[in-house]
Structure 1
Amino acid sequence: MKFASTHWAISLIAVLLTLQSAGVYAHPPGLSSLDVTIKPAQLDAKVTFALQDIEAFTPMDADLDAEVTEAEREAAKPAIAKLLAEQLRVNIDSHDALPSEPGQVSFDDQNNARVELHYAGAVQTALLVQSKFLALLPDGHQQYLTVRDANGKALSEKMLGKHDDQISLPIANAAVAESPQAPFAAFGDFFKLGIEHILTGYDHLLFLFALLAVTHSFWPALKIITFFTVAHSITLACAGLNLIELPSSFVEPFIAATIIYVGVENIIRGDHPKGRHWLTFGFGLIHGFGFAGVLQEMDISSGDTGILLPLLSFNLGIETGQIAVAAIVLPMIWWLNNKIETAEKFLKAGSIAVSLMGVFWLLERTVLQ
């Protein structure tokens, strides 16, 4: 029986380490955005991608010194504009349109590239937009497309992927026929995106595992999960309303630091640390900024609700995924913690593994940048 218990402890830790290793270099959630505006005499398109999605096709490090300077980024702008112009198909009234001028490229402090393209001509009967660049990216990459009128009102929204990379809109009476469901059309897409984000957000899952590793029963675990949920929901709302904004260069290293702290606390204080729920709440606020940054960095918005509706459905997806993971992992944690022969070994071994991964992520997001 002792061997079986130890085997379960080792297996759970091994699974967690395998998941961590798989996601160390991931850029969740593999998301970009495409914003199309239909004006009386032209059509404007703005594409936003993470730089790492672009660099594989338009290398910026000209001198191969493993460091991209400001001058090298500026020099790469024409190639980036050309790439996106070639990969974006805009068909107006059954005729493929070409940009009326070279694309304008800009970079932000979140390591994103934005390309603005303009197409001359009025849309009379039909519009088709195809993002062919998605075919070059990994299968999991998604692109949120919004089509707006000249007044900024959302007319259609769709989450694009490699195997569904276009949208076709009929035109009626010289205006796009808006669906009454348009503002809420992407609710399911962002809900699914939230589930995917938490299931592949190994740093968030590891933090949650470290918090729950000290629990022995349902109510203490529920308190921790509830405080974590409330905390990151608050910062999601604040970020959505642009009340508070923190750069990812601060948030991501801090998230790694929270993982280290909780792991070390588990080792030092054992399985009865006081005030764990308040610690969860404080650190959960920072994790919430990490969740919100996923959508904010890509200029995601939906209809007249702006970023709030995507954030709401995204957050609901995160909670659903979080509950599903907890439902699977918690019975194993409680079983191991309630076995005298495995409880201490499991907590220490798991917490050491958690702390080491936290240290790795902290270094990766700071000195190894």
Structure 2
Amino acid sequence: MNNYFNALQVWLVLVLMLQSTCGFAHPPGLSSINIDILPQQVDTRVTFALQDIEAFSPMDSDLDAEVSDAELDAAKPAIAKLLADQFKLAVNGKLIEPVAPGQVSFDGQNNAHVDFRFKLPDADARQLNLESQFLRILPEGHQQQVMVKNADQQIIIETMLNRDHASVVIDLQNLQAHSTLSTFVSFLKLGVEHIVTGYDHLLFLFGLLMVTHSFWPAVKIITCFTIAHSITLALAGLNLFELPSSFVEPFIAATIVYVGVENIIRGDHPKGRYWLAFGFGLVHGFGFAGVLRELDIGSGDYGILVPLLSFNLGIETGQIVVAAIVLPLIWALNNKVETSHKFLTACSALISLMGVYWFLERTVL
């Protein structure tokens, strides 16, 4: 019976590890639509990650694997047309067209912003329908946050669209601000989803925790990681300090490689892991902040503090749930002489290999 129990534990841990390696390093794509409803017009901004658009509107015209500033400028008309064809607004059931071609701009975080202005008809405008047809051609699982504000810059609607739910209806006769609680819950759920499907962050944390045998060492590591990524998430979310994603994403992969190799070299020894979790956690926080940037959440106009707080709380909630599931298995295997060394070596090697794969994927590939 004991042998059967040990085999079952090993199998469960391997299933968790394989599940981590079979998905992408990040959750499905995120994008956003911000809508300002003014007395006689509707201003919209659609924000996408460049990689989401490039599949439909290639930008690397000389095929040198790099997109220059000149190539970005040349791609603006095609991007504007692509979004105009996929982004539909209707008033009282009748489609309305933008008054001018979309204005395209880029930021330093590999995002494209497309601004449209629509004229509200003079007739009695009772209902505004938004349909994001682009979601139908993006990879399944792509989510698009919609934020609607009235003329006083108060949020009246905040929702998340996906392929199966790609439209939203706005009552133009009732533009009352919605509650802060709705925003809090929305970003709390997003934070939980991000960490639970953020396989690179989970694999890094799993590698750190593999050398623990009991509750308090694990708590110290998780706490240091939490404090660190909360600091940099707040700094980036408040636009006080940022690092480019071209540096952050490969570096996160490198931290995974390092932790796996250190496990193999040092063995079952948690000393110093707290500072390692804190130092590398600072960079992982910039990775978490990338989600808020993709949603174009970075301005005081949108009430950044509530989304930032609830998103971070969601990350911590998901992190605690995953740790509560995995840690008993880790301790059970680490505290048995016949399984501890093999478990640490095999899983650490797998962790390092996944880190190498993600590093190559985010650089040369």
TM-score by length of 1: 0.89
The aligned residue for residue 287 of structure 1 is: 284
Q: Distance in 2 between matches of 1:252 and 1:327?
A: 27
Counterparts of 1:214-253 in structure 2, within 5 Å, are 214-253=211-250
Higher mean C-alpha deviation, range 293-302 or range 79-88:
293-302
The aligned residue for residue 157 of structure 2 is: 156
SS at the partner of 2:109? coil
The aligned residue for residue 144 of structure 1 is: 145
The aligned residue for residue 43 of structure 1 is: 42
2:200 equivalent among 192, 200, 203: 203
Q: Distance in 2 between matches of 1:301 and 1:186?
A: 15
SS at the partner of 2:114? strand
Contact 1:157/1:302 (8 A) holds in 2: no
Consecutive unaligned residues of structure 1, counting only runs of 5 or more, are none
The aligned residue for residue 352 of structure 1 is: 349
Relative to 1, partners in 2 of residues 1:7 and 1:168: Cα closer, same or farther, differing over 3 Å? closer
Matched, 1:58 2:57: yes
Contact 1:336/1:342 (8 A) holds in 2: yes
Counterparts of 1:1-369 in structure 2, within 5 Å, are 5=6, 8-9=9-10, 12-13=13-14, 15-24=16-25, 27-62=26-61, 67-121=66-120, 124-172=125-173, 176-181=174-179, 183-300=180-297, 306-368=303-365
- Measured against aligned partners, the alpha-carbon deviations of 1:334-360 in whole angstroms (never above 9, x if no partner) come to 111011011111111111221222222
SS at the partner of 2:13? helix
SS at the partner of 2:274? helix
Contact 1:40/1:122 (8 A) holds in 2: no
SS at the partner of 2:113? strand
- Note the C-alpha offset of 1:84: 1.1
Consecutive unaligned residues of structure 2, counting only runs of 5 or more, are none
Percentage of pairs with the same residue: 61
SS at the partner of 2:99? coil
SS at the partner of 1:23? coil
SS at the partner of 1:167? strand
Contact 2:155/2:178 (8 A) holds in 1: no
- Note the C-alpha offset of 1:6: 6.3
Q: Distance in 1 between matches of 2:155 and 2:39?
A: 16
- Note the C-alpha offset of 1:302: 8.8
Contact 1:260/1:359 (8 A) holds in 2: yes
Higher mean C-alpha deviation, range 148-157 or range 255-264:
148-157
Q: What is the number of residues matched between the two proteins? A: 362
| Letter aligned with residue 184 of structure 2 | F
- Measured against aligned partners, the alpha-carbon deviations of 1:273-322 in whole angstroms (never above 9, x if no partner) come to 32211221221121111111111233126985622211222122211211
TM-score by length of 2: 0.90
Relative to 1, partners in 2 of residues 1:64 and 1:180: Cα closer, same or farther, differing over 3 Å? closer
Q: Distance in 1 between matches of 2:282 and 2:70?
A: 37
Higher mean C-alpha deviation, range 141-150 or range 56-65:
56-65
| Letter aligned with residue 318 of structure 2 | G
SS at the partner of 2:325? helix
Superposition RMSD on alpha carbons, in Å? 2.5
- Note the C-alpha offset of 1:33: 0.5
Relative to 1, partners in 2 of residues 1:100 and 1:278: Cα closer, same or farther, differing over 3 Å? same
